Structure 1
């Protein structure tokens, strides 16, 4: 559990309440627990009576001095990790207490004065980038920074660096964001140089994603992954294998790619097991084809599938559609189950395949427009070209009681598919522009789309450019031979 999650769970569990709650009730300083009464229910504090100061409670006394915050846990022999969590608890408790005091002051000022400004009700003044948010980040970062300096624990220092990057991403203040990123990268480089595997891997991810330099830099990422893999980091070993596999930051080397895949797969890495499964199934990267062993790797990967690595589920689903003699039996129902699992993990091709099955009644599915549109939408939201185009077709004809016919939506989704390079979507855009489906009717634009579609291999577009008329029938949902789409 991360430190932030630990603090959150601690607050939610109520462990920050004063231990002598019953005694405080008897003294009139706290309320018995009952129905929620606003902010005060969170800390069981009664609102202070007008013109009368309450004596400080134990947890409030600890909030009076930053010096006490740092010295108290040290006097009790806490290790740096416990000390950091303790100070974060106090910081968050203080923030909550200050919010309650502000609430009480606003209530005492009258029921109307403090709500006249709509921004107060919308809490727009607390949106990311505002000084209030920046102050909160600054205080929390300072707590992290002080404790990171006090310890030689690389894990704590790494978490501080990662926290700075996460915090910086949500800030609109570009100068502060840049300062946080620079400080984090400097710390990560030092930790990586000292052999901290997680820092090496994280830094490599920063370079490969383009975060560090504005564009992907595998020349810097690759050696960091190699170093991290030597320290036993499974994902770094997988990434190293991919670099050798695809020639990213190094020359292609099939033997080394397989070597690193096997190293990561031995640690149950789902991506490595999936890649080994495909390589072994089809005899790639110099590996002798062995369908039986390939399927075994795919099954192992599917059992450890994650949103990042759902690919084995999709591969197995395809195998159970067609079967492999004496190895994989044909089982349409099981294929649907595997596709569904992958789609739930966010795998767009699986969601698209389910959309097809529910639209045309494939793999034992009954035709169901609602489910078809649902799965097409899941895939289209991830910019899957075929799914975008299929969704455009549904909008073009509509489905009674499920989806209203909407030419404008059909145009938008077809355009998305065409911009992704789908030839039949380019042809559809040409037709839409020719007959006036969408914003405007434009013959010149239609010709441009037909040219793009023809160049991409769509024969209908070539015929249309030669003057062959279009047979504009619409049969979406009935068969797969809709002339337009």
Structure 2
């Protein structure tokens, strides 16, 4: 969002730099100019005539430095008093309202008449006499700075500043985009429009604001149409980035009728952008050919596009070629050696969007490939950590398991286990969510406090992801009343959902009495019996007697 600055910038950041400069001549010592008084402090004689710049030029280097430092033309000078109509904004030459004009055709001498009484103020003490200053060749002491030298307070919005509205911001960007013919700037504006349409505030529909909601939706559609129209014009001119972005919009149902995916229009644009050397477009065109999206399913053509993108070091294309070589896909014969080569190249260029090669290589090093890849647990965990730091949920979940159970040479570390589980769970990885349920049930001293409520919530999130054992766990929590209020009817609902997905415990529970809840919720075999010292080998030992895990 943009700010409207309605308050004049303070000058505190500049005054400190002006007054901190050393003085090299003692005979011309003077007090810093007062921002609210434009009268000169060098002469008490009223001006008789406007002097010319030819006769007012200072004859010393110091005077030139003083002019640069204290003249109103300097950009650091902050004066709130409106200038005199006849003033030429150069107080050093003109002396403000008190110049010292030339006398009898002689050049004006450097001003040495100084009035200490007029210079003294609340902020600046009077200067020492000239003899003392001349002796030490220093200027009078300045007041200590009130803040850091690099003060950016003048960049903060003033009291009267206000945020531009959503519509005003769009108008501001639109006006700037119309002033240029640069396709890159126009492309950025089109992308901004489409992003702005997603954040356009839409009021919650009620019976009283039906018209308001319709107007907001229509406004959003207008912004999308404007962005798509601009992308079309740029794409017709051969702008590769616009061709790819427009194709991506069509593939995701943006700017299409009823917001449906339209690969029939997306695929030709992917191909067109790929011909202009756009690596992402080549990769997406290969994906369309592989799956038959907007075109016929042709493995050979898909392979061509993937190779074209891989030549530009596209990590997704290199990963796809590696998997194809490993499994003999896309018309290729199995070649683990070539597949590993492609995966290694993809892993070297892995991004948050394409971290898959790191995870696949880690799994390969975990089990090894005869005569191609040896088993290396340490390197495998390094690859998993790299992928997890890029936000890849399966790698984070795998590392969580390794540090919980001590697998692949990893020490049992509850803190690291919970850390990696949390990375995966934040991306709705259902197994990671359910793993956090187990950790919250028992807690970890100094790492994670025990909380039945958190355990129930994470189990509920895992159940929403379709995990059968999580559905059974939620049913158990609801039946017994762990972390939530007991509700037998709702518990039966979750048991039925889990049984439909093949959970044998849920099916067995439904065969029993549904009028009475399970007994001994804290006794042997129940979920609350889990404790941190029941088994020295980690959670695996604790899970064997647990109703849930």
- Both structures adopt the same fold (TM-score exceeding 0.5): yes
- Name the structure 1 match of 2:337: 292
**1:449-476 deviations in Å (ceiling 9; x for gaps):** 1111111121221222222979324368
The verdict on how the C-alpha distance between 1:171 and 1:145 changes in structure 2, with shifts beyond 3 A counting, is farther
State which of 222, 236, 247 in structure 2 corresponds to 1:204: 247
- Mean alpha-carbon deviation: is it higher for 364-373 or for 215-224? 215-224
Q: Distance in 1 between the 2:156 and 2:358 partners?
A: 54
Q: Distance in 1 between the 2:65 and 2:228 partners?
A: 45
Report how far residue 168 of structure 1 moved.
4.4
Report how far residue 154 of structure 1 moved.
3.4
- Name the structure 2 match of 1:91: none
The verdict on how the C-alpha distance between 1:195 and 1:314 changes in structure 2, with shifts beyond 3 A counting, is same
- Name the structure 2 match of 1:25: 69
Partner of 1:421, secondary structure, is coil
The verdict on how the C-alpha distance between 1:163 and 1:444 changes in structure 2, with shifts beyond 3 A counting, is closer
Are 1:363 and 2:396 matched, yes or no? no
Are 1:324 and 2:382 matched, yes or no? no
Q: Distance in 2 between the 1:209 and 1:224 partners?
A: 14
Report how far residue 283 of structure 1 moved.
1.2
Q: Distance in 1 between the 2:219 and 2:68 partners?
A: 43
Are 1:143 and 2:166 matched, yes or no? no
Q: Which runs of 5+ in 2 are unaligned?
A: 1-63, 91-151, 203-215, 520-524, 533-537
The verdict on how the C-alpha distance between 1:29 and 1:402 changes in structure 2, with shifts beyond 3 A counting, is farther
Are 1:230 and 2:254 matched, yes or no? no
Q: Greater helix share, 1 or 2?
A: 1
Q: Distance in 1 between the 2:292 and 2:312 partners?
A: 24
- Name the structure 2 match of 1:75: none
Q: Distance in 1 between the 2:442 and 2:419 partners?
A: 16
Report how far residue 302 of structure 1 moved.
0.3
Report how far residue 220 of structure 1 moved.
2.4
Are 1:191 and 2:234 matched, yes or no? yes
- Name the structure 1 match of 2:57: none
Q: Distance in 1 between the 2:89 and 2:201 partners?
A: 38
Contact 1:310/1:342 (CA < 8 Å) preserved in 2? yes
- Name the larger-Rg structure: 2
Report how far residue 304 of structure 1 moved.
0.6
Contact 1:427/1:461 (CA < 8 Å) preserved in 2? yes
Partner of 1:212, secondary structure, is coil
The size of the alignment, in residue pairs, is: 388
Q: Distance in 2 between the 1:373 and 1:56 partners?
A: 71
Report how far residue 252 of structure 1 moved.
2.9
Contact 2:190/2:231 (CA < 8 Å) preserved in 1? yes
The verdict on how the C-alpha distance between 1:146 and 1:56 changes in structure 2, with shifts beyond 3 A counting, is farther
Q: Distance in 2 between the 1:436 and 1:57 partners?
A: 81
- Name the structure 2 match of 1:472: 526
- Name the structure 2 match of 1:154: 183
TM-score, length-scaled by structure 1: 0.73
TM-score, length-scaled by structure 2: 0.65
Q: Distance in 2 between the 1:155 and 1:377 partners?
A: 40
Equivalent residues in 2 for 1:394-409 (5 A)? 394-409=439-454
The verdict on how the C-alpha distance between 1:25 and 1:359 changes in structure 2, with shifts beyond 3 A counting, is same
Contact 2:460/2:474 (CA < 8 Å) preserved in 1? yes
- Name the structure 2 match of 1:282: 327
Are 1:410 and 2:439 matched, yes or no? no
Partner of 1:249, secondary structure, is coil
Q: Distance in 2 between the 1:21 and 1:422 partners?
A: 77
Higher relative contact order (CA 8 A, sep 6+): 2
Contact 2:225/2:255 (CA < 8 Å) preserved in 1? no
Contact 1:134/1:171 (CA < 8 Å) preserved in 2? no
Report how far residue 422 of structure 1 moved.
0.8
- Name the structure 1 match of 2:22: none
Q: Distance in 2 between the 1:328 and 1:475 partners?
A: 41
The verdict on how the C-alpha distance between 1:483 and 1:282 changes in structure 2, with shifts beyond 3 A counting, is farther
Contact 2:83/2:89 (CA < 8 Å) preserved in 1? no
Contact 2:326/2:336 (CA < 8 Å) preserved in 1? yes
Q: Distance in 2 between the 1:206 and 1:298 partners?
A: 29
State which of 407, 410, 423 in structure 2 corresponds to 1:378: 423
Q: Distance in 1 between the 2:82 and 2:531 partners?
A: 78
Q: Distance in 2 between the 1:207 and 1:298 partners?
A: 30
Partner of 1:182, secondary structure, is helix
Are 1:172 and 2:201 matched, yes or no? yes
Partner of 2:331, secondary structure, is coil
The verdict on how the C-alpha distance between 1:201 and 1:100 changes in structure 2, with shifts beyond 3 A counting, is closer
State which of 443, 460, 474 in structure 1 corresponds to 2:488: 443
- Name the structure 1 match of 2:394: 349
Q: Distance in 1 between the 2:66 and 2:173 partners?
A: 32
The verdict on how the C-alpha distance between 1:462 and 1:176 changes in structure 2, with shifts beyond 3 A counting, is closer
Report how far residue 136 of structure 1 moved.
4.3
Contact 1:141/1:164 (CA < 8 Å) preserved in 2? no
Q: Distance in 2 between the 1:196 and 1:378 partners?
A: 38
Are 1:455 and 2:500 matched, yes or no? yes
Contact 2:173/2:189 (CA < 8 Å) preserved in 1? no
Q: Which runs of 5+ in 1 are unaligned?
A: 1-19, 31-43, 59-96, 107-113, 115-119
Q: Distance in 1 between the 2:156 and 2:76 partners?
A: 11
Partner of 2:358, secondary structure, is helix
Contact 2:385/2:395 (CA < 8 Å) preserved in 1? yes
Q: Distance in 2 between the 1:102 and 1:457 partners?
A: 61
